[in-house]
Structure 1
Amino acid sequence: MAFRCDIPAVPTVQRDDQDVRITRWDFLPGAVTGWHEHGWPYFVIMLAAGTLRIDDGSKVTDVPLEHGQTYQRPAGIKHDVMNGSDHPIAFVEIEIKRPEAISAG
């Protein structure tokens, strides 16, 4: 259900308020986030090209992503994320705590 966590990924919270949480994640090769569930919808922006190895509890999938590439996911996602690359990678994760506040401008 989760990767063996010999090397934890390093989260640096850059903003955390009533509307959003912005976290930079830095991963050495093989580093993992640990099993977690997202309580809010979120966006990810890759700061370095690399492969995210995703364990969703039933299968492990390698997802290669380019520098600057983005993706989004809904609330409720459960997974563990590993750096499947042979070099350090990083991304910024933006969790939207109040989607209505963002869409209202």
Structure 2
Amino acid sequence: MCSNTPEGTAIPSVFIDNPRTRVTEWRFKERGDATGWHTHEYDYVVVPLFDGFLEIELPGGEITRAELKTGVPYFRETGIEHNVKNGNDFECAFIEVEFLTVQPKGF
């Protein structure tokens, strides 16, 4: 992990948190604001509220630049440790929807 990376400077606001689903807005006020290193325990969907870029830091120093478009969601399964950073010169945010339980098929 990069020791000079800001840890946890992005602002989470939890809108829904029940036994099945957690919905959180992540707000990054300025370039470099970050979620802090974390690993998702649950599958999730991200819905960007901006057009721009996020920088995804991975263990070992690799950085991936992800382009996002307003309202265009993407799905990820539980995964590896990472840190999400604002790669823009403006405030940005996204909504994260975590699926805390699996709904049986046919319901």
**TM-score where L is the length of structure 1:** 0.89
Aligned residue among 59, 67, 75 for 1:64: 67
Name the one with the larger strand percent.
1
Unaligned residue ranges in structure 2 (runs of 5+) = none
Q: Which amino acid aligns with 2:37?
A: W
Shift of 1:104: 4.6
Q: Where does residue 8 of structure 1 map in the other structure?
A: 9
Q: Where does residue 20 of structure 2 map in the other structure?
A: 19
**In structure 2, what is the Cα distance between the partners aligned to 1:21 and 1:63?**
23
**In structure 2, what is the Cα distance between the partners aligned to 1:6 and 1:39?**
19
Q: Where does residue 44 of structure 2 map in the other structure?
A: 42
How many equivalent pairs are there? 104
Deviations 1:47-89 (A, max 9, x none): 1112010012131011111111211110133210000011111
Give the share of equivalent positions with the same residue, in percent.
Answer: 36
Q: How does 1:59-98 map to 2 (within 5 A)?
A: 59-98=62-101
Q: List, as ranges, runs of 4+ consecutive aligned residues in structure 1 with deviation greater than 2 Å.
A: none
**In structure 2, what is the Cα distance between the partners aligned to 1:95 and 1:6?**
21
Shift of 1:100: 2.1
Q: Kindly report the root-mean-square deviation, in angstroms, between the aligned alpha carbons of the 2 structures.
A: 1.7
| Worse overlay, 45-54 or 6-15 | 6-15
Residues 32 and 14 of structure 1: CA distance in aligned 2, closer, same or farther (over 3 Å): same
Name the one with the larger helix percent.
1
Unaligned residue ranges in structure 1 (runs of 5+) = none
SS at match of 1:94: strand
